[in-house]
Structure 1
């Protein structure tokens, strides 16, 4: 992955600078001049699909009124049995609200304008038509009884959303939403349910979310979407998954390769 990252910087004619994030089997990202360069890999027969195409499809279909890093270019290439994708994106200098964790450890102070920007961005994104499904009914059917001991619900109202709306993917003012590989159709209230779950250790911030978005979270559809979001957070607490914040457990009140030269295409 490190050699792949270095090869991509040469193709894009950008320098490497700063520390690396990720690596191994996980995506590897690093600042590259005025951009951010991210590498993902998969076995050749598993490359492609929703997560592989997420960043590029967001750049094409999600309106610019939704604040996000602009995609500068994409490289695709293969080595023996492995496919690689490099994404060159705008570097966002505003830091995320949290670093290294999706959850808040304490309450934060964000200006009223930040909350207004988040509300506007969610509203603009909700109107985007897409066939991408970020949350599937069959997950609900399999898992709600497991986590809550209740019969599965039928998700009747969906919207287009981010699917990973947590504090490590939201910057401080001005607001920018990061990491777009998962976006797609999901239950109304799901994104806000995720953000609220990751705020339960910061009660004033959690209360602000419920106040700002009561028009969604206090509806039947919003409560159903939040329940699904909490179920997926509980799955993340299960053995074999990285931990989620503890309050989320309570329902709501190879060997190195020599790589061929990658071929660039425009984003």
Structure 2
């Protein structure tokens, strides 16, 4: 049974619900922000009032992201960095924090490798694990360290895939990372929730990006994929924006440790 204070809390929350979707005043770090899904989510964050620090290896791509954010009335600082250098992550976070305390992070940087399992080398495996699993973990740990010191909450948004829920062929190292990132988010959620720090995973379906262009260029694969998506279209980077903004905003303040799929209905069919 609800107590009077719980009822008042519920009433107050409902009263401010429209504004709770705003990112005004929040500083969000977005990796992989130079193109594709990362750029699309960075632009959505900026358009909803968040201050973005955009991270990618390419300064030129980041400059374009900042330009597009400005066209939408948003604020975007750029920070070129190579996340495969895990040892440099603490310095990356210190540099990002010069733009203000970090309220949230979107881990959009990632790599793909299409290869028969019997042909995968240890070097292949290590590279994919470093970029898709190690880097996001250590980046979130470094950010959470600051958030705990500053006694501020935060939202950490990891990027999974269909392979976080099902297995697809010829991408075993990638599947391992996208399954693993869900476990990481759940563990961090359990560990950090009492500090007001949340961790969730967005699971995109098939989107037209650099990671999928080789697959989608094959007519038979393109037909197979399109025939499997109930919405009968590929995702656009902007389609992830709403979910990312929601998970970073106060509107999702009681959601943590979850995998939320944005897949055009693929897993629901």
Q: TM-score, normalised by structure 1?
A: 0.28
Bigger fraction of residues in helix: 2
TM-score under structure 2 normalisation? 0.28
